[in-house]
A and B are shown apart, each in its own frame.
Chain A
Amino acid sequence: MFSSLTGSYGSTLRYKSVERIKPIGKHSLLGASGELSDFQEILRYLDELILYDNMWDDGNSLGPKEVFNYLTRVMYNRRNKFNPLWNSLVLGGVKNGQKYLGMVSMIGVHFEDNHVATGFGNHLARPIFREEWHENMSFEDGVKLLEKCMKVLLYRDRSAVNKLQMAKITEEGVTTYKPYSLRTHWGYSAFENPTVGAEGSW
């Protein structure tokens, strides 16, 4: 799962080190876009959920499917009360060898797929995913594909910043990596003196 470390305040890029991907329990990763305060509220709800589950001390733990279902119910019920949590959530996880990846929107629309994205990623990244995703991708292939999509988003989304956070979840557990930047290419010869032939153009 990839996200950029931005927290915007309207059109100001106010916070540039906001981690928007968090591990949930032992088996899931939750990533969010939208209202950060609502995301923090969701994390509190999930914290309570995981805590109560651990208190049973029965050797069983909530897997990604269960957490996803809980989130769907929460989002849908809040929407029904006309008080939505303004987030698009991505939940991914592995339990007992079974992989799971799903998305919940702020109105409770939820689905499960091999590749999901929120916000602008739906328009820019999903076409690339649909072309280039295939079964049994290795970790390096997956990272390369995601980096490709994040680069396009960096070029074409006005609220993007070149600082990415990567998180991985496997049967062994969660690994979060240090934030890093992508290399961008601006050296097209057509970008130097573009309007030399057409005055008044941009």
Chain B
Amino acid sequence: MTKQMVEVPPKGGFSFDLCRRNAMLAKKNEGAKAPSFRKTGTTIVGLIFQDGVILGADTRATEGPIVADKNCEKIHYIAPNIYCCGAGTAADTEAVTDMVSSQLQLHRYHTGRESRVVTALTLLKRHLFNYQGHVQAALVLGGVDVTGPHLHTIYPHGSTDTLPFATMGSGSLAAMSVFEDKFKEGLTRDEGIKLVTEAICAGIFNDLGSGSNVDVCVITKGDKEYLRNHLMPNLRTYVSEKGYTFPKKTGQ
């Protein structure tokens, strides 16, 4: 007699079946540890100035004690008027911001209007709360829409804050000390960029998880400016003037 297999519809969300097997493996063979994931030990900041929002981030991605990427992009595109900086696990921040970005694009087609920052905020926080903090993405979301400039922080467990200035990541304390000292309301564009750069530099030079260059993104009503590598305070000190010559057969 043939055994009848009952077709069970696939369950949604994370399946935690392999967690038990991983724990068992880790206990059984001392060496079979799960590979550590790439984190963006980071400094990300945002502030509201008189015409809009300025976001800033460093560019170092770490894998434990090693620098995996020395010039990565931590300011992600969400909508033409909304950008998001991400700290935490690099894959999580990348995936979550891409997902919300495409959802917002569809929403824009559906409504025919410019996306609002609170829409992105709600989509992100609902997703993160749903996964109860297992999606380790700590985000600084900023943008300008019809209701004005907005800046929010989103924590991995799904709570959000609405703030005039915010910092996240391992370098957040160093950057926050600069902000608490020097922030005023109604900063001009240049003052705002200078303050954001100073805060990120405080994170770069005083936190081991952050480093390399400073990225800045300025969003105002109807206009955005992504200043990639706005400041590069960590250039290579010694570069050989002779240059390098490779034998002709070396690669393409």
Contacts and interface: CB of A to CB of B under 8 A. Distances in A.
A3 to B, nearest CB: 18
B161 A202 contact: yes
Given A197-B147, A198-B118, A198-B121, A155 B160 contact: no
B152 interface: yes
A198 B162 contact: yes
Given A123-B174, A155-B180, A156-B176, 4 more contacts: A123-B173, A152-B180, A197-B117, A201-B160
A190 interface: yes
A202 B180 contact: no
A156 B162 CA distance: 17
Contacts of A131: 178, 198, 202
Contact of A188 (B122, B159, B164): B164
Interface in B194-211: 198, 202, 205-206
B79 to A, nearest CB: 16
A195 B162 contact: yes
13 contacts: A123-B206, A125-B177, A131-B198, A148-B181, A149-B177, A152-B181, A156-B176, A195-B162, A197-B162, A198-B118, A201-B121, A201-B152, A202-B162
Interface of A: 120, 123-128, 130-131, 148-149, 151-152, 155-156, 188-191, 194-195, 197-198, 200-202
A198 B185 contact: no
A1 to B, nearest CB: 19
B206 A198 contact: no
Contact of A194 (B163, B173, B176): B163
B206 A126 contact: yes
B78 interface: no
Interface in B122-160: 122, 125, 147-148, 150, 152, 159-160
